[in-house]
Amino acid sequence: MKEKQAEQEAAEAKAAEQETAEAAEAEKAEDAKNAEEAAEPEVDPKDAKIEELQNRLLRLQADFENFRRRTNIEKEQLSTFVTANVVGKFLKVLDNFERAEASVEKGDNVDAVVDGMKKIRRQFEDAFKDLKVEEIEAQNAKFDPNIHEAVMRGHNPELDDEIVDMVFEKGYKLGDKVIRHSKVRVNTNE
């Protein structure tokens, strides 16, 4: 009986030992699960989407700022290029004006100076033509407030009403854009 009791006690001890081992294993598994949860918090899909959208927004803002900066630089470069091109067209004209002034100071032939001034005027007109700047035709044209500026009224029974009968200052346009309105006198027969 003692043997049976010893066997039973041994079996109980073994069972208790096995239970202890299983409990320890279960506790380790629980600790591992808790550690995993602590290390990697559960991410709500909405929070992940919010974070993704915020990152996209920041990238788009940076891209837009770079685009705006690059566009401003290109505008400045284009403006400088256009200005240099226009100035280049008129430098020859300026040079010829300086030569004409020097010729007048020397007392050279007045006819030669007048001829030189006419050539300078043609240079100006050629420069305007190269830049596609056109004179607004005003003399004897119907008054158009889009391209003419009436500075006075005149009376000439030989002309119809609202006809430009005198141009005080020529107007110019670049394509459809008026650079300067023609200053004119408009006929009225009232």
Sequence spans of domains, the chain = 46-131, 134-190
| pLDDT tens-digit readout, 126-180 | 888 888 899 999 999 999 999 999 999 988 888 888 999 999 999 999 888 998 9
What local confidence, expressed as pLDDT, does residue 98 receive? 84
Average pLDDT, rounded, for the chain? 84
Angle at the Cα of 65 from the Cα atoms of 61 and 67, rounded to 5 degrees? 115
Which pLDDT does position 2 carry in this prediction? 59
Query: What are φ and ψ of residue 164, in 5° steps?
Result: -75, 120
In this prediction, residue 94 has a pLDDT band, given cuts at 50, 70 and 90, of confident
**Which pLDDT score, from 0 to 100, does residue 35 have?**
61
**Above 60 in pLDDT, residue 1?**
no
Q: H helices within 107-177, ranges in order?
A: 110-130
DSSP 8-state secondary structure symbol assigned to residue 141 = S
Q: What is the pLDDT of residue 73?
A: 95
Distance between CA atoms of 167 and 161, rounded to whole angstroms? Answer: 16
Write down the H helix ranges in the chain: 2-39, 45-106, 110-130
**What is the distance between the alpha carbons of residues 31 and 37, in angstroms, rounded to a whole number?**
10
Residue 156's pLDDT is 84
- The reply to whether 46-131 and 134-190 are identical in fold is no
Q: Which fold has domain 46-131?
A: Hemagglutinin Ectodomain; Chain B (3.90.20)
Question: In the sheet where 171-174 sits, what is the strand order?
Answer: 133-136, 171-174, 177-180
- Concatenate the DSSP letters of all residues of 77-106 into one string: HHHHHHHHHHHHHHHHHHHHHHHHHHHHHH
d(CA 188, CA 27) in angstroms, rounded, equals: 110
pTM above 0.95, yes or no: no
**What is the residue whose two structure tokens read 């006929």?**
187
Tens of pLDDT, residues 9-25: 767 767 767 777 676 67
Domain 134-190, CATH homologous superfamily name and number: Head domain of nucleotide exchange factor GrpE (2.30.22.10)
The lowest-confidence range among 32-36, 45-49, 83-87, 88-92 is 32-36
